[in-house]
């Protein structure tokens, strides 16, 4: 068996240590990104909901579903938003917007968890 020089052993140990450190830091970075992405996504959706509520307030006050529908149609510019609906306080639907016909739009507002959002099976609801 060939004897390994101390220099070669130190080089291998240094390379192995760098590879291990790189793998660990990459794993930690990936975990951090996945955890923060969900929060950023939720905050972005909440901001969109707030903007939409301000834009459609007049349409609700003056009972103008055409303007409400036009305002909701602006959400089609966001590929991450599959469907949206606008409801009156009595839970009757005023306007809807869906990216495709296959999207299910609820007939009544979805009750969401504390914090104004609910996340399940890759979908998020915001109030």
Is residue 127 one of the residues assigned to a domain?
A: no
Is residue 83 one of the residues assigned to a domain?
A: yes
- Alpha-carbon distances of 106 from 37, 63, 103, rounded to whole Å: 26, 21, 10
Write the pLDDT tens digit of every residue in 52-111: 888 888 888 888 889 988 988 888 888 878 888 888 888 888 888 888 777 777 677 766
- Alpha-carbon distances of 39 from 32, 45, 91, 114, rounded to whole Å: 11, 10, 28, 14
The predicted model scores a pTM of 0.56
Task: Single out the residue of 21, 42, 96 nearest to residue 65, CA to CA.
Answer: 96
Is residue 81 one of the residues assigned to a domain?
A: yes
Is residue 51 one of the residues assigned to a domain?
A: yes
Name the residue range of residue 24's domain.
6-108
Is residue 118 one of the residues assigned to a domain?
A: no
Q: How many domains does the chain have?
A: 1
Is residue 31 one of the residues assigned to a domain?
A: yes
Is residue 126 one of the residues assigned to a domain?
A: no
Is residue 115 one of the residues assigned to a domain?
A: no
């Amino acid at each position: 068996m060939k004897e390994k020089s101390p220099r070669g052993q130190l080089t291998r140990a240094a390379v192995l240590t760098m590879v291990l450190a790189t793998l660990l830091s990459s794993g930690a970075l990936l975990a951090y990104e996945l955890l923060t992405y969900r929060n950023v996504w939720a905050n972005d959706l909440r901001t969109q909901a707030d903007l939409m509520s301000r834009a459609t307030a007049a349409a609700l006050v003056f009972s103008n579903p055409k303007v409400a529908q036009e305002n909701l149609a602006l959400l089609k510019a966001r590929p991450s938003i599959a469907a949206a609906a606008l409801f009156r306080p009595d839970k009757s639907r005023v306007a809807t917007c869906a990216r495709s016909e296959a999207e299910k739009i609820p007939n009544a507002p979805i009750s969401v968890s504390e914090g104004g959002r609910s996340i399940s099976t890759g979908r998020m609801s915001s109030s």
